[in-house]
Amino acid sequence: MKNRLTHNLGLKILALLSATILWLIAVNINDPVDTVHFTVEVTLQNRDAMTSNNKMVEIQEGSNKIMVSVKGSRSVTDYLTEDSIVATADLKDLAESEILGEAQIPINVSTSRYSKQVEEVKSDTEFLTVNVEQLKKKQLVIETNVLGVPADGYITGTVSLDQTAIIVSGPQTVIDQIKKARIQPDVTGLIETQPIPCSIILMDANDNEIQNAYLTLSTKQINATVAILKLATVPLSPGITGEPLD
């Protein structure tokens, strides 16, 4: 029995190696290794940790989109999509640091599907660059600027608001520029008093509008009720008193 097993052992080993190589070649032909690329957006984790430390991060629009490469068998990569890619940057360590201004956060990439089958997942960018600022809040009294004129025969009266102030929070450098909160109810053509939905406009000291994606308002819209008064024609009946001089 032993002789049968060891007979032509070298040839048997060579045959086994050849079969293995042929199998690998066949697999590689039928299911070759492929690399696919996806453009995905980095998700920030632990934003609450920043808020708890009175900080916030700003990301330049579009800069948090990265290219991710996934290497694996074509039978796996063919079924991957952008939704299969997970790209995250954790803010926890940054929140607990004293860093203000520009900072870099490591980016982690993985797949939500076939994670054990893919050979490699990597990003063309290792770090996400952000700007760290102090978080600041400010309360503003709402100003009113009525636009337009009501229908012929009507005039505007007093204006009442369903709330008279708002709270704005955001990056300190932006909050410090905001000096006014204004609404502009449009009464053009109105013939009766009614609530008018108005968006809040934030302005600097020179009445220039301030817009920033990182500003948060306690409310973005309020109702302004502008009294619309009808003009009345009152006939005049002159009354003469006294007597003319001689």
- Which tens digits make up the pLDDT trace of 82-133? 999 999 999 999 988 888 899 999 999 999 888 888 889 999 999 999 999 9
Range 157-188 burial, b when 16+ CB lie within 10 A, else e: eebebeeeebebbbbbebbeebebbbbebebe
Q: H or E element: which one contains 20?
A: helix 9-30
> Is the separation of the CB atoms in 160 and 225 below 8 Å?
yes
Residue 161 has pLDDT above 90, yes or no: yes
Residue 46 has pLDDT above 90, yes or no: yes
**Residues recorded for the chain:** 246
Percent of the chain with pLDDT over 70: 84
The DSSP secondary-structure symbol of 82 reads G
Residue 29 has pLDDT above 60, yes or no: no
Percent of the chain with pLDDT over 90: 58
Weakest-pLDDT range from 23-37, 97-111, 165-179: 23-37
More confident residue, 238 or 227: 227
Residue 1 has pLDDT above 80, yes or no: no
Q: What's this model's pTM, rounded to 2 decimal places?
A: 0.68
